[in-house]
């Protein structure tokens, strides 16, 4: 995988984890639904979708490059690169990359 692509994917995964952690922490700490800052939550949900879409696009381009044999994907790095499904399940976001 190209170093720039790998760095971008790592940054996106870190941002995804931070958003999900904020959502879980915030929602768990809010005892009453009327206390939720709906604007802040909605903004984070929008950003979550943008990040997820970009991760999906990067993964699709990596798969395409592998099929086209352009050398952007290294088979030994596959388990580390395509951990987003496992991360999504851990974060409680099933189906995010389907």
List the chain pLDDT tens, one digit each, 98 residues.
Answer: 678 888 888 889 889 988 888 888 877 777 776 777 888 888 888 999 999 899 888 888 877 776 766 555 454 444 444 455 555 554 555 444 44
User: 9-46: buried (b, 16+ CB within 10 Å) or exposed (e) per residue?
Assistant: beebbebbeebbeebeeeeeeeeeeeeeeeeeeeebee
Give the pLDDT confidence score for residue 77 in this predicted structure.
Answer: 45
What span, in angstroms and rounded, lies between the C-alpha atoms of 15 and 38? 20
**Per the confidence metrics, is the pTM higher than 0.85?**
no
């Amino acid at each position: 995988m190209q170093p720039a692509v790998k760095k971008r994917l790592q940054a996106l995964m870190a941002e995804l984890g931070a958003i999900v952690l904020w959502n879980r922490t915030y929602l768990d700490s809010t005892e009453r639904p009327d206390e939720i800052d709906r604007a802040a939550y909605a903004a984070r949900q929008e950003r979550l979708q943008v990040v997820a879409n970009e991760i999906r696009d990067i993964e699709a381009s990596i798969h395409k490059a592998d099929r086209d044999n352009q050398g952007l994907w290294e088979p030994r790095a596959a388990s580390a690169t395509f951990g987003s499904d496992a991360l999504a399940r851990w974060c409680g976001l099933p189906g995010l990359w389907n």
